[in-house]
Amino acid sequence: MLDMLPTLLGGAWVTVELTFWSTLIGALCSFAFGIGRLSGNPVVKSVSVAYIEVFRGTSLLVQMFWIFFALPLMGVSLSPMTAGIAALSLNIGAYGAEVVRGAIQAVPKSQYEASRALNFTSWQALWYVALPQALPEMLPPFGNLAVQNLKDTALVSLITLSDLAFRAESLRNLTQKSTEIYGMTLLIYFALALVLTAVMKVLEKRIGRWKAGGGR
Amino acid sequence: MLFGYHWDLTSNWTFALSILPILLHGMLVTIEATLLGFFIAAVLGLVFAVLRGSPTRLISYPVAFIVEFFRDTPLLVQLYFLYFVLPNYGILLPAFMTGAVALGIQYSAYTSEVYRAGIEAVSRGQTEASRALNLSRADTFTRIILPQAVPRIIPALGNYLISIMKDVPVLSVVTVLEMLNVAKIIGDRTFQYLIPLTMVGGLYLLLTLFASFLVRALDTRLPKRGIPLK
Amino acid sequence: MSDDTLVHFDKVTKRFGDFEVLKNLDFKVKRGEKVTIIGPSGSGKSTVLRVLMTLEPINEGVVYLDGDPLWHEKRGHELVPASEAHLRQMRKKLGMVFQQFNLFPHMTVMRNLTEAPVRVLGLSRKEAQERARELLDMVGLSDQADKFPPQLSGGQQQRVGIARALAMRPQVMLFDEPTSALDPELVGDVLKVIHRLAEEHDLTMLLVTHEMDFARRISDRVCFFDQGAIREEGPPDQIFTEPKNQRTQEFLHAVLHPEA
Ligand SMILES: Nc1ncnc2c1ncn2[C@@H]1O[C@H](COP(=O)(O)OP(=O)(O)OP(=O)(O)O)[C@@H](O)[C@H]1O
Ligand SMILES: [Mg+2]
């Protein structure tokens, strides 16, 4: 049974890489489109709304298949890795965008008024006043999304990427020891999720420091 | 040919039109899997929520661990586990059932949290108030807490119904012929992926928009201060 | 328009939906003048300040600040609605202190005082900090520079609010009930700071307050607002001792003798 571990851990590393990149790019999408949705510019706003609704309204696996199987027919061929990261990032980014929007909208109107009275531009108000206050509110839901994303990476095995889930499935084909293989695989995913959760908790503490010092 | 329908490759439009009934056939399976998975998740989640609230740590701790485990591991691997491991122990389920059970297990972790949060949100102040009025524990729960918790719980469950629907395509790996699987098969046979996959995306959009609309309608319909008792 | 008029509301109307908050308001403030606005709740006092601070647009009329239209721009001989660039130009002359302080909770006191001077006025951090220290000294909070606003008392926060507005070197300072959100024992410190400002600087000040004694001491003129218009105005001694308008009499009576 232990002889299968290196193979699985090799796959786990691919899973970690996928999670890292797609969470990072997903976060960028979240901010871009979450802020875009609040924009006064109608074009920016409708593009953001369309992106968010399409990617939240359809299934991740459909999106992944679409990018991997359908897009090449329109002349855009992506490697499994690129297609996987693209689908994961765009998907999680749409959910993240709603988190960003909600957190920004939760910043009290009075903070924007104070910024205006100090003659900040609206970008400065967003960047220096609203976002730093919204960020600590975003982190707990972002943590959940990151774990969601980690789990979602398993789907890339269905577009031939050799991640943890893919290797588990190949090992089962070879050895038929399904209980051990899938048991170990589940445990590795669980461990990864716990680590990811811990990392996000540390981040939460760091970024929300001014809140901890508060309380009158 | 699939489910007795032939596709017509003369033009994009005829192709799309000819495969629509096949996709709708798949959509029916998607909806069935969603509903069954949701039912299992709703029941199992309630069981977990109750056990987790147990005053006996010997029960509440392991259950909390199991819920966490279900929540933190991928649906796909859970599904593989059920599909390939259970038969080793003599449990033989049809693929569709296995899929629905996997959905139910994965989402029971989320629904149990919905129940717990819904009840907790109400129970703090209200339990004390009921105690002050000398209501029995059972009366407090059924007459005071539940009527107020249910309106919070239902919409949250509804949102997970939608999430489950979006996860049904994962069941395609164990040969369940839901919408995406059907589209993939059409693609594999005709080398035309673009049209079937785009249609599946469109149909999903319609399904989720419709379901969200229902959930929102339900949410606004439900009395916010609790369900009136007769 | 005489040269020493700094703020001029010329027949200004402001509506929220169908509700007219300001009705054809005419109102002038001279350079360096300290004007207190009093009046019942909902009479439009805050709205006057918020219109001036460009937080609320107007529906009719023209507001002039230092001779230039505030909410409009001149295009040829016509007045067109102001662009954001014009508003930013005009805001340079204005500073506001809010009832709820509205400090930035995620920034230290020092940062609250330096962020806008650095980002908006283009000062160097060092210059901005020097200036901030002087201001903190003036409001009696030199030792609080590194704290976050939620760690301060309400009175301290409001003094930071005043210093923050002053850091932008405005010509007109607007105070909207700066002490209403404070516990009674903290009001005095804030009023002292405002009093010093009034005495030692040639700032133009517009103050909405319910502190009648204070209003009497520091203002050159008191305006009684009712239903979106000025019902009576004059030197504080006249308004407080021999108000002519019946509404003013009733209001002052209710405020000064709440038990009656
Ligand atoms: N954003 C808004 N939308 C609708 N109505 C508003 C808004 N802001 C103010 N009002 C209304 O306009 C009227 C005047 O408001 P304003 O805040 O100027 O009164 P005020 O004289 O400052 O009263 P107070 O002493 O209570 O602060 C009030 O009736 C208020 O309800
Ligand atoms: Mg007011």
Residue B230 has a pLDDT of 55
Sign of CA dihedral A155, A157, A162, A165: positive
CA distance linking residue A173 with residue A167, whole number of Å? 10
Q: How far is CA B70 from CA A48, A140, B50, C196, in A?
A: 33, 19, 17, 65
What CATH code is carried by the domain that includes residue A43?
1.10.3720.10
Contacts of C173 in chain A (CB under 8 A): none
Q: Under a CB-based contact definition with an 8 Å cutoff, are residues C73 and C83 in contact?
A: yes
Contact B199, B19 (CB under 8 A): yes
Token readout for B160 is 């997970």
C-beta C14 within 6 A of ligand 1: no
Structural domain tally of chain A? 1
Amino acid residing at A14? V
**Contact (Cβ atoms closer than 8 angstroms) between residue B47 and residue B226:** no
Residue A36 domain flag: yes
pLDDT in tens, chain A (216 residues): 677 888 889 999 999 999 999 999 999 999 999 999 999 899 999 999 999 999 999 999 999 999 999 998 888 889 999 999 999 999 999 999 999 999 999 999 999 999 999 999 999 999 999 999 999 999 999 999 999 999 999 999 999 888 888 888 888 888 888 888 999 999 999 999 999 999 999 988 888 766 655 443
In a domain? residue B2: no
Structural domain boundaries enclosing A62? 16-161
Q: Does the CB atom of residue C47 touch ligand 1 within 6 A?
A: yes
Which residue in B84, B85, B204 is closest to A58 by CB distance? Answer: B204
DSSP A67: I
Which is it for strands C204-208 and C34-38: parallel, antiparallel or unpaired?
parallel
Which single residue is written with the structure tokens 């910043």? A107
CA Rg, chain B, in Å? 22
Angle made by CA atoms B162, B166, B171, in degrees to the nearest 5: 130
Q: What is residue B66's three-state secondary structure?
A: helix
Do residues C110 and C145 lie in contact, with contact meaning Cβ atoms separated by under 8 Å? yes
Residues of chain A contacting residue C165, judged by C-beta atoms under 8 Å apart: 117-118
Tokens representing residue A13 in the block: 């590393």
Return the closest-CA partner of residue B174 out of C44, A158, C260: A158
Give the pLDDT confidence score for residue B227 in this predicted structure. Answer: 66
For residues C44 and C15, give the distance between their C-alpha atoms in angstroms, rounded to a whole number.
11
User: Does A88 reside within a domain?
Assistant: yes
Judged by CB atoms closer than 8 Å, whether chains meet at A110 and C98 is answered as yes
Which of C25, C46, C223 is the best mutation target for the ligand 1 pocket, counting ligand atoms within 8 Å of the beta carbon and taking the most? C46
**For helices A131-152 and A5-37, what crossing angle results, to 10°?**
140
Specify if B174 maps to a domain. Answer: yes
∠ CA(A45), CA(A48), CA(A49), 5° rounding?
85
pLDDT along chain C (260 residues), means of 10: 82 93 93 94 94 94 93 87 92 94 94 95 94 94 93 94 95 94 89 90 92 91 93 92 90 82
B4 assigned to some structural domain: no
A42 by Cβ neighbours in 10 Å (0-12 / 13-18 / 19+) ranks as exposed
SS3 A163: coil
Dihedral angle over CA of C184, C186, C187, C193, nearest 10: 170
In a domain, B230, yes or no: no
Cα dist. A95→B75, B139, C147 in Å? 19, 40, 36
Please indicate whether, in this complex, the C-beta atoms of A113 and C102 are within 8 angstroms of each other.
yes
Distance CA C8, CA B221 (A): 52
CA of C204 to the centre of ligand 1 (A): 24
User: Is A113–C91 a contact, with Cβ atoms under 8 angstroms apart?
Assistant: no
* Partner-chain residue, chosen from C55, C148, C165, that has the shortest CB–CB distance to A214: C148
In this structure, the residue with its CA closest to atom 5 of ligand 1 is C16
- In a domain, residue B187? The reply is yes
Q: Cα dist. A171→A12, A156, A164, B74 in Å?
A: 14, 17, 11, 18
Answer for the pair C123, C201: CB distance below 8 angstroms, yes or no.
Answer: no
**Within-domain flag for A201:** no
ipTM of the complex, rounded to two decimals: 0.92
Those residues of chain B that have pLDDT short of 70 are: 1, 224-230
Q: What is the maximum alpha-carbon separation in chain B? A: 77
Q: Which amino acid is at B41?
A: A
C46 CB less than 6 Å from ligand 1? yes
Domain containing B134 — which CATH number?
A: 1.10.3720.10
Note the pLDDT of residue A216. 37
